[in-house]
Amino acid sequence: MFNLVIFGGPGSGKGTQSDLLIEEYGLFHISTGEVLRDQINRGTELGKIADSFISGGNLIPDDLMVSILGKVLDENTDKIANGVIFDGFPRTIEQAKALTTLLADRNMKLNVVIGLEVNDEELTARLIKRGKDSGRSDDNEETIKKRLQVYHNQTSPLRDFYVNEGLYAKIEGCGTIEEIFANIKSAVASAKK
């Protein structure tokens, strides 16, 4: 079993690279953003709560997010045998600590954190371009700005947290999708040694 976090700012390529990782390693993909958008599309109570945070570019409260993630893991015990890609989780130090516990409780552990490093100008350009047809309530100029602020204030401190844990693999996130994926595969291979 091999569990990884794919980490980076909004639009850094977490989803894009996850698709390639699924194909290469047969891992189970959990994007907390996708889990929440699915609830919004289905019009559930949770979806209504999530929408109020997402459309403003704010994070869903930690305790709610952690309980959702625990549920997703427990509903998919049959699918996670090869390992899991955590995409968009953790986003706060609190969530990172909770992840360690969620995994330990299930006899699992984190093997590597793939950190996609992309500058704000490139992130903004990618998201504005995608916003033309993504239908995502958070892909507009104002919310993108807020998402970047939230990323720098609440999420980027996780980089040092995982550097200290010896789990952080820095990946240059600008370049072609194929080049970036080749670097990710090298980082995975090193983490497997």
Q: How far is the CB of 31 from Mg ion (least distance, A)?
A: 6
Measure the CA–CA gap between 181 and 193, rounded to whole angstroms.
19
Q: Where are the beta strands (DSSP E) in 11-127?
A: 28-31, 84-87, 112-117
Of the residues 97, 136, 170, 185, only one is catalytic, namely: 136
The first and second tokens of residue 104, run together, are 């330990």
Ranges assigned E (strand) in 10-150: 28-31, 84-87, 112-117
69 within 8 A of 106, measured Cβ to Cβ? no
What is the distance between the alpha carbons of residues 69 and 105, in angstroms, rounded to a whole number?
A: 13
Contact map string, positions 113 to 152, toward ligand AP5, x by CB under 6 A: -------------x---x-------x--------x-----
**In angstroms, what is the minimal distance from the CB of 20 to Mg ion?**
13
Q: How far is the CB of 18 from Mg ion (least distance, A)?
A: 8
**Which residue, judged by CB position, is nearest to ligand AP5 in the bound state?**
33
Q: Please tell me whether residue 10 binds ligand AP5 under the rule CB under 6 A.
A: yes
Cα radius of gyration (the chain): 16
For ligand AP5, the binding residue among 46, 53, 103, 159 (CB under 6 A) is: 53
Among Mg ion, ligand AP5, none, partner that 159 touches (CB below 5 to 8 angstroms by kind): none
